[in-house]
Structure 1
Amino acid sequence: MFTAVLMPVALGIIMLGLGLSLTLADFKRVIVYPRAVIIGLVCQMLLLPVVCALVAHAFSLPPELAVGLMLLSASPGGATANLFSHLARGDVALNITLTAVNSALTLFTLPLIINLSMVHFMGEGRAVPMQFSKVIQVMAIVLVPVSLGMLVRARRPGVALRLDKPIRLMSAVFLLAIIAAAVYQERANMSAFFRQVGPATLAFNLASMAVGYCVPLLVRLPKRQAVAIGMEIGIHNGMLAITIALSPTLLANPTMAIPPAIYSLIMYFTAAAFGYFVSRGLTSEQDAPELSTSPTPEKVS
Structure 2
Amino acid sequence: MNTGLSLVLFPIALGIVMLGLGLTLTIADFRRVVAYPRAVIISLVCQMLVLPAVCLGLVLAADLRPELAVGMMLLAASPGGSTASLFSHLFQGNVALNVTLTAINSVLALFTLPVIVNLSVAAFMGSDSSLGLQFDKVLQVFALVLIPIAIGMVVRQRRPAFAARMQRPVKILSIVVLMVVIVGAVLGVKDELAATIGAVGLIALLFNLLSLAIGYAAPRLLRVGHRDSVASSFEIGVHNATLAITIALSPALLNNTDIGMPPAIYGILMFFTATAFGFVAARRSRTADDPTRLPTPTA
TM range, smaller chain: 0.7 to 0.9
Task: Summarize deviations over 1:11-53 as a string: whole Å, max 9, x none.
Answer: 3214423543358957766543211111111111111111111
Provide the residue aligned with 2:176 in structure 1: 169
Q: Mapping of 1:252-263 within 5 angstroms? A: 252-263=255-266
**Identical residues among aligned pairs (%):** 45
> 1:194, CA displacement in angstroms?
1.4
> 1:89, CA displacement in angstroms?
4.1
Residue range with higher mean Cα deviation, 90-99 or 247-256: 90-99
Is 1:235–1:267's contact at 8 Å kept on the other side of the alignment? Answer: yes
Matched, 1:109 2:146: no
The 3-state SS of whatever aligns with 1:102 is: helix
Counterparts of 1:279 and 1:243 in 2: how far apart (Å)?
33
1:202 to 201, 205, 211: 205
Counterparts in 2 of 1:285 and 1:278: CA distance versus 1, 3 Å: closer
Provide the residue aligned with 1:152 in structure 2: 151
Letter in 2 for 1:49: P
Counterparts in 2 of 1:151 and 1:214: CA distance versus 1, 3 Å: closer
Letter in 2 for 1:252: N
Counterparts in 2 of 1:148 and 1:82: CA distance versus 1, 3 Å: closer
Provide the residue aligned with 1:45 in structure 2: 48
Is 1:89–1:284's contact at 8 Å kept on the other side of the alignment? Answer: no
Counterparts of 2:89 and 2:233 in 1: how far apart (Å)?
12
Letter in 1 for 2:180: V
Provide the residue aligned with 2:16 in structure 1: 17
Counterparts of 1:47 and 1:294 in 2: how far apart (Å)?
35
Counterparts of 2:76 and 2:295 in 1: how far apart (Å)?
29
> 1:247, CA displacement in angstroms?
2.0
Letter in 2 for 1:260: P
Is 1:209–1:231's contact at 8 Å kept on the other side of the alignment? Answer: yes
Is 2:106–2:138's contact at 8 Å kept on the other side of the alignment? Answer: no
Is 2:70–2:121's contact at 8 Å kept on the other side of the alignment? Answer: yes
Is 2:107–2:138's contact at 8 Å kept on the other side of the alignment? Answer: no
Counterparts in 2 of 1:44 and 1:149: CA distance versus 1, 3 Å: same
Counterparts of 2:70 and 2:88 in 1: how far apart (Å)?
28
Matched, 1:271 2:271: no
Letter in 1 for 2:16: G
> 1:125, CA displacement in angstroms?
1.4
Counterparts of 1:283 and 1:232 in 2: how far apart (Å)?
21
Provide the residue aligned with 1:58 in structure 2: 61
> 1:87, CA displacement in angstroms?
5.0
Q: Mapping of 1:120-139 within 5 angstroms? A: 120-128=123-131, 130=132, 134-136=133-135, 138-139=137-138
Counterparts of 1:293 and 1:261 in 2: how far apart (Å)?
39
The 3-state SS of whatever aligns with 2:134 is: helix
Is 1:13–1:171's contact at 8 Å kept on the other side of the alignment? Answer: no
> 1:119, CA displacement in angstroms?
2.2
Provide the residue aligned with 2:5 in structure 1: 6
Task: Summarize deviations over 1:169-216 as a string: whole Å, max 9, x none.
Answer: 3232112212222334x26xx33x111101100110111112112211
The 3-state SS of whatever aligns with 2:189 is: helix
Unaligned 5+ segments in structure 2 are: none
Is 1:89–1:279's contact at 8 Å kept on the other side of the alignment? Answer: yes
The 3-state SS of whatever aligns with 2:227 is: helix
Matched, 1:250 2:257: no
Unaligned 5+ segments in structure 1 are: 296-301
Counterparts of 1:31 and 1:289 in 2: how far apart (Å)?
11
The 3-state SS of whatever aligns with 1:258 is: helix
Is 1:18–1:146's contact at 8 Å kept on the other side of the alignment? Answer: no
Counterparts of 1:292 and 1:16 in 2: how far apart (Å)?
30
The 3-state SS of whatever aligns with 1:211 is: helix
Counterparts of 1:294 and 1:135 in 2: how far apart (Å)?
40
Counterparts of 1:183 and 1:170 in 2: how far apart (Å)?
20
Matched, 1:211 2:198: no
What is the number of residues matched between the two proteins?
286
> 1:141, CA displacement in angstroms?
4.6
Task: Summarize deviations over 1:256-291 as a string: whole Å, max 9, x none.
Answer: 121122112222222233334455554266323546
Provide the residue aligned with 1:77 in structure 2: 80
TM-score, normalised via structure 2 length = 0.79
Is 1:11–1:240's contact at 8 Å kept on the other side of the alignment? Answer: no
